[in-house]
Structure 1
Amino acid sequence: MSERTGPVVVGVDGSEEATKAAVWAAAVAEKFHAPLHIVHAIADTGRLLTDAAAAMLASLIAEQRKSADATLKSVEEAVRTRFGKLTVTAERSDQSASKVLTDLSGKARLVVLGSKEVSPSAALLLGSTTVAVTAHSSCPVVTWRGEITAPTDQPVVLGVEPERTGAAAFRTAFEFADRFGVPVHAVNAWPGRRTLGGIEIPALVDWGAVEAAQWQYVMGAVEPWSEKYPSVEVRYFVETAGAGAALLSHAPDAQLVVVGSRGRGLLAGALLGSTSLNMLQHGPVPVLVCHNANP
């Protein structure tokens, strides 16, 4: 994230979640000495199956256009009340939210979206703004959820997975922790005693050596970033669970969960992978997704 100098971009839609996400985004922007850019665009809807659905959509879009200015004004006021010195700009667009936010991600430092929950069915549709932007963004994306609207003393949790956790995820997690003055909790998950063909085979595997290798991996992967950010305390965790379950067990005590993803592409749900989608669906706190391709 440090290589980007653009604004923190937040998408709003008039919901309470979006307003809280904007306040959180403003707090992040202030910590990173960056401007905040608030965006209101037309909600993504996925595929329309009937003429009646199309008519309802047209009515919804018309209503959104009417309320857009009031929404932007309300969010700006909520932000300026708490962050009077922050540079804040606003933009209204009649294009789809996923397109607008994805386009803006090319120059943004961070994109933030408020979200209640991303259902499994929504995760399969490009009509889900959260999933589409997260999958295709050129910068890290935060799906905001919960009640945290300002930095706390809680840690930043970082999921450490081979291949998925690239330099962007490490850098971003440590930058947030450094700016917020909190520790990083580096969490690695490994399967533990799995079965082969339905038969448990503990006698054929040196599980102690496997666990030791996991500890060696996670500590080795994090060490270069600890050296770059010596003021950030790091705690290490190796969990015998799936990656999603392991991160969810740590999330309630965190203020932010950072996960990596392999890249960007056309199939949003498949591209993000099970860990990222699981956190987007169920994470109780803000979740930040970094693609390996993010600078």
Structure 2
Amino acid sequence: MSADRGDDPHRLTSAPVVVGIDGSPGAARAVDWAADAASRRRRRLEIVHALDLMATRSALDVYDVMVPPVLETIRAHGVEQLTAAAEAARRVDPDLDIIVSISEQSPARALIERSAIAHLLVVGTSGTGGTIAHLGSTLLAVVNHGRGAVVVARGADTAQVTPHEGPVVVGVDGSARGAAAIGAAFAEAADRRARLVAVHTWSDLSFDRFGALPEIIRDAEVRARADAVLAEQVVGWQEKFPDVEVVRKVYLAGPRFRLLAWSKVAQLVVVGNRGRGGFRGLLLGSTSNSLVQHADCPVMVVHPNGSHSS
């Protein structure tokens, strides 16, 4: 575990792995992923359940429902869900240091606030109205406005969500803001003793919109420039993590297509937030939506205001 670093709250020894729950299958997968991450990093696990009671009160007032009894029932159900999630986490590692938190805030606000002091924040990919609706606006709000590293625990089942085989894949866009994602990907690969695949596309044109675009870059000068961008971005990290095997992949276009394809064999895909170049606008358009909602493995989104390390 890393030493305390006053300039980065995400790397403090006290920074927990935080996971949001709502009782859905997606949240259960997120708990498994978060518990595995906390166990490997020897960090505390914090399980958060947000009730969004203000919205509930407003809805109940409209229908003239007795508010206090309903709210108490909601709170009691939330406690039950937290207890069940903690039990699931202890099945991953009986020695985990676990705390549970219940919040009256909206899920997005509660999780974004917790992300400011979290080592990393983990969310699932399904949900229900009024709780953590991870396939809707809550997911996009947390991914776009969270701090540090946000992991969307994708996967059809637990075995796919917390695999220990396959490479870590990182999208490299050639920007200074994307450096945090590369550093996080190297740290993850080192922690998992996994190969790192660094993916760079020269253009951000969508492959599935322009299917006739070739996979390789035939122009020798463009290929050399693309190779140089990728090499420049990873060389410093290779020196810091000499034991990580790095495979460089350069494509002409189609960042969404390339990363989704790699997610089929990866144990984790890592991308930066609001980068430029080949992954320009990654979290503002169709590429981000595809990754956090359709990738076949967990996706880590790293914000430039905070780095991630084991």
TM-score class, shorter-chain normalisation, is: 0.7 to 0.9
AA matched with 2:283: L
From the superposition, tell whether residues 143 and 210 of structure 1 become closer, same or farther in structure 2 (CA, over 3 Å): same
Q: Tell me the CA shift for residue 257 of structure 1.
A: 0.5
Q: How far 1:276 sits from its partner (Å)?
A: 2.7
- Could you tell me how far apart the structure 2 residues matched to 1:129 and 1:284 are? 20
Counterpart for residue 175 of structure 1: 187
Are 1:273 and 2:284 an aligned pair? yes
Partner of 1:21: 30
Structure 1 position 130 matched with structure 2 position 142: no
- State yes or no: 1:81 paired with 2:91: yes
Alpha-carbon distance change, 67 to 278 in structure 1, aligned in 2, over 3 angstroms:
same
* 2:255 aligned with 1:235: no
Change in 2 beyond 3 A, CA 1:8/1:44: farther
Encode CA deviations 1:135-186: one digit per residue, 9 max, x unaligned. Answer: 1112210111103343412111000012375222111111111111101100
Decide whether the 8 Å contact of 1:226 with 1:232 is kept in 2. Answer: yes
User: Which amino acid is the alignment partner of residue 189 of structure 1?
Assistant: T
Written as runs of structure 1 = structure 2, the 5 A alignment for 1:239-278 is: 239-262=251-274, 272-274=283-285, 275-278=287-290
Q: Deviations over 1:222-248 (max 9, x none)?
A: 111011001111111112232111111
- The answer as to 2:230 corresponding to 1:218 is yes
Deviation (angstroms), 1:215: 1.3
Q: 1:106-125 counterparts in 2 under 5 A? A: 106-116=116-126
Per the normalisation by structure 1, the TM-score is: 0.81
Segments of 5+ residues of structure 2 without an aligned counterpart are 3-7, 128-132, 207-211, 276-280
Tell me if the contact between 1:44 and 1:128 (Cα under 8 Å) persists in the aligned partners. Answer: no
2:77 matches 1:67? yes
The 8 Å contact of residues 42 and 61 in structure 1, kept in 2 or not, is answered as no
Pair 1:51–1:16, CA change in 2 (3 A): closer
Q: CA RMSD in A?
A: 3.6
SS at match of 1:31: helix
Note if contact 2:27-2:126 (Cα within 8 Å) is conserved in structure 1.
no
Deviation at 1:19, TM superposition (A): 1.2
Asked if the contact 2:119–2:148 (Cα under 8 Å) also holds between the matched residues in 1, the reply is yes
More strand by share: 1
User: How many Å apart are 1:278 and its aligned residue?
Assistant: 2.8
Aligned to 2:113: 103
Provide the residue aligned with 1:36 in structure 2: 45
State the SS of the aligned residue for 2:292.
helix
Question: So what's the TM-score if we normalise by structure 2?
Answer: 0.77
Structure 2 counterpart of 1:7, from 9, 16, 21: 16
Offset of residue 42 of structure 1 = 2.4
CA distance in 2, matches of 1:68, 1:260: 33
Question: Gapped runs of 5+ residues in structure 1?
Answer: 118-122, 195-199, 264-269
- The question of whether the paired residues in 1 share the 8 Å contact of 2:204 and 2:254 is answered with no
* Kept after mapping to 1: 8 A contact 2:32/2:89: yes
Q: Which of 174, 194, 203 does residue 162 from structure 1 map onto? A: 174
Q: CA deviation at 1:262?
A: 2.6
Give how far 1:272 is off. Answer: 2.6
Distance 1:129 1:53 in 2: 24
Q: Percent identity?
A: 36
Distance between the aligned counterparts of 2:190 and 2:177, measured in 1?
19
Q: What is the Cα deviation at residue 17 of structure 1?
A: 1.4
For this pair of structures, how many residues does the alignment match? 272
